[in-house]
A and B are shown apart, each in its own frame.
Chain A
Amino acid sequence: MAEPLVAADGVWRFFGDFAALREVTCSASAGECIALLGPNGAGKTTLLKLLARLAKPQKGGLRLPAPERVGYLGHGLGLWDELSARENLRFWANAYRAPASAAETWLARVELDHVADAPVRQFSRGMRQRVALGRAFLHSPDLLVLDEPFTGLDARSVTLLQAVLREALARRATVVVSSHQIPEVMELATQSWKLERGRLQSGVTQ
């Protein structure tokens, strides 16, 4: 059996005395799409931040790809408003050791190449989210960590996100995605992880 790309082994994470994650053990292999489900405050964002290396587990171990092989899209867009869409994506392409052409490819992919030199501050919310999608995907990561990426998207952007997620899965990337828009996520998911008060309930394979 192939080694998992992502694995958590008995992971605990505390905020003061409060255990946000309690002995979480899970794994995902290349090409899998994990739907991370659970009510508000269940620990979904905390687990995603651990997978994105934004925090470290206080107990337990994690197996993760190298940082340049991970794409992360959190609640914030990770874009500088005063810079243009092109400047933003070029910076991130450079940061992730991707060729500069990746920025141009993704500007076209998210259908913003015609406004690529306008400052992001002039963009609508939907346009900004499309630039942020480009940011997370432009280096063709092996692991995509997405925290509620469907929230606030218009229908066109939902279709685009589902298409790029399908493309990522087709090239055997692993996707871990939390969402309250369960139908959109479950359409793609091969497995779901359900968190309840920081504890992972039994995984459900589709």
Chain B
Amino acid sequence: MIADAWKVAAKDLRSEWRTKESLNAALAVTVVLLLLFSFAFDPGAEDSKLWSGGLLWLVYSFAAALIVNRGFARELPNDCLEALRASPIPPGALFLGKAFAGFVLLLAVELAALPAFLVFYNVSLTWQAGWVAASFALATWGIAVLGTMFGALTVNLQMRELMLPVLIYPMMMPALVAAIEITGASIQRQAIPEIWLRLLTGFDIIFTALAVLLADVVLVD
């Protein structure tokens, strides 16, 4: 299953690299929103350290919706999804591959936009940087796998660009809250409570297992 998932992820990443459709859109949205919010709030104020972590992850969640939306939508032209479903690639591997491609793309957008955040809001994430990096990876995987699962459910809806965020934002709240708390603690140079990393790990395990187990139901008519 891992080998099949890797084939799908490599194919998706290659396709995205050629068109850069979701990468460009997500990166542009992220940087523009960070810039606009930096004008709306006073990033120099001392209390900006309290809310800037939350703002960063809200902006990242908007970027995530753009990226995971493309995961299954990419397969609609030429009925590629039908061809994939007819192939020996197990539905769970198809899900995992798409989630991994989404994870790589979203993480790339997050890392590319991070310097803009650090400069616009005059903050640092060097405090307990290892835990912060782990939280970025865990939260991004959770968002990618959840978004991929709902992306498959909404792929045939005409209003999928609207429906997907409506469905995934409430579901991704635990991962977002944990990531916000960890990022905020690092910015404020406070100890990072272990509970948030555990919550992120649990979130990832539950939704990865659900995605793989439900893939057959979601993808086979």
Contacts and interface: CB of A to CB of B under 8 A. Distances in A.
B161 interface: no
Contacts of B45: none
Nearest to A67: B88
B77 A81 contact: yes
Interface in A75-100: 75-83, 87, 91-92, 94-97
Per DSSP, are chain A's interface residues mostly helix, strand or loop, or mixed?
loop
Contacts of B87: 67, 92, 95-96
A78 B88 contact: no
Interface residues of B, number: 22
Contacts of A49: 221
Contacts, number: 73
Interface residues of A, number: 30
Per DSSP, are chain B's interface residues mostly helix, strand or loop, or mixed?
helix
Contact of A55 (B11, B77, B83, B220): B220
Contact of B80 (A52, A56, A79): A79
B7 interface: yes
Given A79-B80, A95-B4, A54 B18 contact: no
A170 to B, nearest CB: 24
23 contacts: A53-B85, A53-B86, A54-B82, A54-B86, A56-B220, A72-B83, A74-B79, A74-B82, A74-B83, A76-B78, A78-B80, A78-B83, A79-B78, A80-B15, A81-B78, A82-B15, A82-B18, A82-B19, A87-B14, A95-B7, A95-B84, A96-B88, A97-B88
